[in-house]
Structure 1
């Protein structure tokens, strides 16, 4: 009888978890914990204080300035590549025309030889009634043939070289265009961040009037201080009084400073070089161009375009640079002040040199 009994089954513990179930439970708990963490983070986003919002806006202004200067540099290199490509195309066309002319000459010589019956030179010499003339003509034919062939080979070689240069220039142009497009996308992203941050700042100002201006407004390129603050006029009177005792070291520097004064109140626009609007390096480039000095396009190249001067030696016309990445520039006008194009939404105005982290200064030739 015992042989026909069912095997005794182990009593199942209702609280025990089978391996598969244990794995599923672990994953479920992990997912729940992760979701809770994310939800908790989203729910626990700190409310930014006015000072934190202003600091964030200042940081975004710096990022925007850096992106603009990088974009300006890429655009400048792209423009030069396009000019070089056009030059190479023109040179290729000229050399191709010369090659075609050489081919025409060669074809005429070949046709003349064909019409002469392509007779063996020895037979022609034997049958010619003027043997001396025949020898002379043969020598000339050989000389012309050699020179024509050499000319054709030379032009072909030049054309091949130009084709190679044109191909390289084309590849360079494509590369620069891709970089420019990427920088444009970066600039768009920074603009979006700026719009978000400035929207926050406007909402803050709506609830706390005056929160976005005054001494606590930050130290970025768009910071407002002194007579040149946005909404308070362009600050000419106060700044001129501050700089009254300063003298430009050269007539050219004086002309550059005069140009900068004439730009006061004009809007900041991405990539603009005047005369209706400017970005920071566009203003300094235009001012010194009016004085007869050609400066590079960007802040990080302009800082190498002149003699370095110490902060204690600043004179009107000197270029003053800011931030560790050398992403902002203004023109010193004396009295501890500069004229600069601050940021999108701002205008060319006066500012104190100590408003931003000083990175260096140069005096253009």
Structure 2
């Protein structure tokens, strides 16, 4: 006879535990949602602007490392060429001594003094006066030239090796800064992507309107530049209004902040350093009330931003990623000082 048993019912204790666990999970989800609400459009803009400023700071560090790398590569190339030429000269000197040895061999064997001349370490023999007595004046002079050339080559090789080590460190720093910049720009883009398409369009429209209003309606007054080169640099920069900010760019179609100023002055026939911090150390420093159109203007305590004074309290600059070359009030950023080139 079959046994009919009622299915085992879950205990009330187990049901209570499951219910409590589910309730706790719901509560935690709710708390997380309340603790980390979706940022508003204005909050996203503030965070993105901050990331762009940090990226610009890193860009100037990148520019400095890039400038150093270029100089080191040039120096290493020159040293390597010098070492190669020196080695050729040393080989010629040794070949000359070899010819001398051959001549002596044909006339009755190699004199011990000539064997000395062919040594790879002539310095140790030069210290032996008794040996020098056996040499002709011509042979002694040849030996001294070889010794001097060997010392010179050793120094040049050492200098080249040190420059190569420095170059390797600079290249690593360059790569690190590039990753830092790209990371900040990527994070900024992720924040923008968290907005709705409508919110992103509104931010882009506001940025474009700001740029157009600043560039088309800027009242620059009637101040004259302090020099012809400053006027020429300012004129060149004006021709690039609307060009995009691109980190590391020096023109002619896109710029970062110091890329614009260095490019503008190069159009005036004046070479100035690449980075904003280096540009701050040239020329004559000025207070805000002393500025004339074309003077360089520097912002932030670490001087990571530079532009050109445009007149009437306005500057012309490449502002930040996502923006274009435009006019802006000098009071929109913490002004430090100006420089007249």
Give the 3-state SS of the residue equivalent to 1:321 in structure 2.
strand
Give the unaligned 5+ runs of structure 1.
1-32, 122-138, 215-223
| Pick aligned residue for 1:146 from 133, 140, 145 | 140
Aligned: 1:362 with 2:339: yes
Provide the C-alpha distance between the structure 2 equivalents of 1:120 and 1:101, rounded to a whole number of angstroms: 21
| Pick aligned residue for 2:98 from 104, 107, 121 | 107
Provide the C-alpha distance between the structure 1 equivalents of 2:135 and 2:56, rounded to a whole number of angstroms: 70
Alignment map for 1:182-331 (pairs within 5 Å): 182-200=176-194, 203=196, 206-207=198-199, 210=202, 224=207, 229-230=210-211, 232=212, 235-236=215-216, 238-239=217-218, 242-331=219-308
Work out whether residues 101 and 110 of structure 2, in 8 Å CA contact, stay in contact via their aligned partners in 1: no
How far did residue 206 of structure 1 move? 1.1
| Pick aligned residue for 1:156 from 126, 150, 175 | 150
How far did residue 165 of structure 1 move? 0.6
Provide the C-alpha distance between the structure 1 equivalents of 2:146 and 2:158, rounded to a whole number of angstroms: 18
How far did residue 233 of structure 1 move? 7.2
> What is the TM-score with the length of structure 1 in the denominator?
0.74
| Pick aligned residue for 1:87 from 63, 78, 90 | 78
Provide the C-alpha distance between the structure 2 equivalents of 1:114 and 1:332, rounded to a whole number of angstroms: 80
Aligned: 1:51 with 2:42: yes
**CA RMSD for the aligned pairs?**
2.7
Q: How many pairs are equivalent? A: 296
Provide the C-alpha distance between the structure 2 equivalents of 1:206 and 1:115, rounded to a whole number of angstroms: 97
Aligned: 1:332 with 2:309: yes
Inter-CA distance 60–104: structure 2 relative to 1 (3 Å threshold): same
Provide the C-alpha distance between the structure 2 equivalents of 1:38 and 1:183, rounded to a whole number of angstroms: 38
Work out whether residues 53 and 197 of structure 1, in 8 Å CA contact, stay in contact via their aligned partners in 2: yes
Query: Partner residue of 1:125?
Result: none
Note the alpha carbon deviations across 1:6-58, whole angstroms, 9 max, x for none: xxxxxxxxxxxxxxxxxxxxxxxxxxx9xx98995576213323332222121
Inter-CA distance 317–42: structure 2 relative to 1 (3 Å threshold): same
Where do 4+ consecutive residues of structure 1 move more than 6 Å?
36-39
> What is the TM-score with the length of structure 2 in the denominator?
0.79
Work out whether residues 260 and 283 of structure 1, in 8 Å CA contact, stay in contact via their aligned partners in 2: yes
Provide the C-alpha distance between the structure 2 equivalents of 1:213 and 1:323, rounded to a whole number of angstroms: 27
Give the 3-state SS of the residue equivalent to 2:316 in structure 1.
strand
Give the 3-state SS of the residue equivalent to 2:53 in structure 1.
helix
Query: Partner residue of 1:117?
Result: 108
Provide the C-alpha distance between the structure 1 equivalents of 2:73 and 2:111, rounded to a whole number of angstroms: 54
Provide the C-alpha distance between the structure 2 equivalents of 1:86 and 1:335, rounded to a whole number of angstroms: 48
How far did residue 316 of structure 1 move? 0.5
Provide the C-alpha distance between the structure 1 equivalents of 2:111 and 2:175, rounded to a whole number of angstroms: 66
Provide the C-alpha distance between the structure 1 equivalents of 2:160 and 2:29, rounded to a whole number of angstroms: 55
Work out whether residues 192 and 200 of structure 2, in 8 Å CA contact, stay in contact via their aligned partners in 1: no
Alignment map for 1:339-358 (pairs within 5 Å): 339-358=316-335
Work out whether residues 54 and 212 of structure 1, in 8 Å CA contact, stay in contact via their aligned partners in 2: no
Give the 3-state SS of the residue equivalent to 1:351 in structure 2.
strand
